[in-house]
Amino acid sequence: MPAGWTEIPFDDRGWRPAGSRVSIGLPPWHELEPSGIPLQREQAQTFARVVSVLTGRCAEGYASVDNLGLLHFREQRKAARQPETLVRDVEALLRPGEAAAVIRPIRGGEFTALLLDAGRETAGYIRLDLSARGGEIVDLLYSEHIDDDGQIVLLDPLTHSQVSMADRYRCRAGRQQHEFFWWKGFRYALVVFRDVRQPVRVHHVGVNFTSYPVEEKGHFACSDPVLNEIWKMGRYTLQLCMHDSYMDCPWREQAQWLGDARVQWQVNAYTFGDHALMRRMLRQGAQSQTPQGLIYGVFPSRHHSCILPDFGLQWAAALWEYYWYSGDDTVFAETYGALQRLLGYFAASSKPGVLPGAAPAGLWLFLDWSPIYKDDLSATYAMQYLEALRGVRIARHLRQPKDVRAWQARARAVERAIVETFWDPKRRAFCEGYDRQRGKRIDQVGQHANALAVQLDLQPEHNGSIVEKVLWRIARQHDRLAGSELLNEYSARTKSPVASPYFYAFVLGAMFKEGYDRQAIETIRRLWGRMLQQGYTTFYESWDQPRGRGHTSACHAWSASPTALLSAYVGGIRPMAPGFAEVMVDPRANGLEHAEVAVPTPHGTIRCQWREDEPGTLQGGSTCLQPSRPRCLRQPAP
């Protein structure tokens, strides 16, 4: 790049004038619209430490490759026995300034690599500031993990991810600064220097941190420091998964999955109180609709395998939840036609019965990573359909009496069919599936269907028993096996599927709903507290993350539900009407001595603090800041 080309005085008269090569309306710019969200936050960050100095031989053809990830995967790196012989003053590159780490000349065909640790998961653009002769190659590789030997963990691009989380920079002569063009999510960065014939002075390697411009309006603190750290960890995990959309993770896919976004929105409501990003997701979900009426599970995308029928149902449920927390009903008018077509698809495809059967070939019925039953008639799938049918509230809100009558009637029929098909009166629990060919229930009683059944009050007189004998029983076993190879084996052997961190949003919600607060808090403390003990700085995607290090995301905000639930139930603030127009103040102590919470709402920030002076007696108060004051309802915990 020409020196100073980004500066105002730069003389670009020799450059060709910019011009339009593709008109709007042609692929891929079929149509444009205002983004509806603010510009991203940017903030300078430094790396925390240099983990190691490494060396090795360059792979064949290193100077010109199509896939940098594949190149690095084929190379072997070993720690330098005497790092000073390769790099002088290596720590100097951690802080910007005139001081510099010096990369000593390297023999032909070899490289020197520096493994840097950001200190915690981050997201942003790497910045280089160095002085070079010119022609040197600097490669950057990004990862969330290092192994027990201090080596960066890479995904095989041929088997795990064809996307290379890598960058390359070719030096020109003199002092130069460069910021790469696509942001990355990572904790560790491997900086590889090649073709160094004369010393290269590295003044600084830093990060231009980026995320959605969140404001930390929410707050939670209690007498348990582990719960406090879990709450903050969930908030930070969510921030790293918020950019120009809700994203499943900043590291690998950076994709807007609609099921993930539903959980992320609930956490957002208690931490940042931002509405624009969720509104955008709901609108884009409607824009993704197929001619048959299905909603894409991840969007933007046009690949048929990204159509997840269950995530379409999660999108439908999220429409009302968005209104419930934000009070903004303007999104209904724009998305109502998509909701009608989605529910129409399920009504037509569920015949001859009323329950949805197996997903059509080519589509992905996800439900969860857990090995729950997904063929023929799935209880979890059917209950998600029932929850979507409760979109009748939207029809009623928009004064659509024809849809109100039709959806109410179908919801009643689906609810009856769910109980008749999946309820096991002997176990007093719901089975996960039903085989119509054999005419019998699948012998699998897990957390998924039973958590949804409690949330939907399908057998309300048995809710407490379901929580205690299914959800809590499995959670106790899960705690003993979490992070081990035995977890899926336990699910299969005992026929008691364990929910992933994503689906625990519904499991924990069911526990709190029925007043099993102690069990819910203990589950959070043990399962999410284990992530803290393992050294993670964000919540990971799957319980097997420590064992499968690097193959699933270490920063997944679908796992952040405890942050919202601690504010809602331990802090005790929950909306009783859309947009927190009415509020329940209902803190749950359960062994905690004190807590304080702040919840952002459209009416201002609601604060509650309490202290248990005597067992069973809480002392405290709540306030709501202007501009307007919602009605506060006070009700003791069950």
Per-residue pLDDT of 59-78, as tens digits, reads 999 999 888 888 988 899 99
Q: Range of 96's domain?
A: 41-210
Q: Report CA-CA distances (Å) from 535 to 146, 237, 401, 483, 552.
A: 12, 14, 54, 14, 16
**How far apart are the C-alpha atoms of 142 and 355, rounded to whole Å?**
45
Helix axes 379-389, 309-326, angle to 10 degrees: 40
> Is 20 a member of any domain?
no
Mean pLDDT across 39-48: 97
Q: What is the pTM of this model?
A: 0.94
**Does the residue 561 lie in any domain?**
no
Q: Are residues 305 and 157 in the same domain?
A: no
Residue 618, Cβ neighbours under 10 Å: how many?
Answer: 17
Q: Is 74 exposed, middle or buried, given 0-12, 13-18 or 19+ CB atoms closer than 10 A?
A: middle
Dist. CA 49–CA 118, nearest whole Å: 7
Rounded CA gap, 166 and 154, in Å? Answer: 11
Position 434 in a domain: yes
Say which range, 62-76, 181-195, 457-471, 611-625, has the weakest mean pLDDT. Answer: 611-625
Query: What are the backbone angles phi and psi of residue 569, rounded to the nearest 5°?
Result: -110, -45
| pLDDT digit string, tens, across residues 511-535 | 999 999 999 999 999 999 999 999 9
pLDDT at 637 over 50: no
In a domain, 267, yes or no: no
CA 44 to chain centre: 24
Which CATH number goes with the domain that contains 438? 1.50.10.10
Please check whether residues 359 and 487 belong to one and the same domain: yes
Last residue of a domain, one of 210, 234, 252: 210
Cross-strand bridge partners of residue 208 = 44, 125
Domain boundary among 553, 586, 618: 553
Picking from 96, 5, 92, 84, the residue whose alpha carbon sits closest to that of residue 49 is: 92
Asked, for residue 343, whether it belongs to a domain, the answer is: yes
CATH code, domain carrying 197: 2.60.120.260
- pLDDT reading at 566 higher than 70: yes
pLDDT of residue 25: 78
Rounded Cα distance between 139 and 113, Å, is 9
CB-based contacts of 76, cutoff 8 Å, min separation 6: 56, 57
Q: What is the pLDDT of residue 628?
A: 43
Q: Is 269 helix (H, G, I), strand (E, B) or coil?
A: helix
Same domain membership, residue 463 and residue 317: yes
What is the average pLDDT score of the chain? 92
The pLDDT score that the predictor gives to residue 31 is: 76
Taking the chain, what is the end-to-end CA distance rounded to the nearest angstrom?
67
Q: Which residues pair with 132 in a beta bridge?
A: 174
Query: Considering the chain, what percentage of its residues have pLDDT values greater than 90?
Result: 78
* Domain end marker among 507, 533, 553: 553
The answer to whether position 30 is within a domain reads: no
pLDDT tens profile 150-195: 889 887 777 766 677 899 999 999 999 999 999 999 999 999 999 9
Handedness of CA 607, 613, 615, 617 (dihedral sign): negative
Q: Is the pLDDT of residue 548 over 70?
A: no
Starting at the earlier edge strand, list the strands of the sheet with 604-614: 219-222, 594-601, 604-614, 617-624
3-state secondary structure of 629: coil
- 304 and 198 within one domain: no
Domains: count for the chain:
2
pLDDT at 55: 97
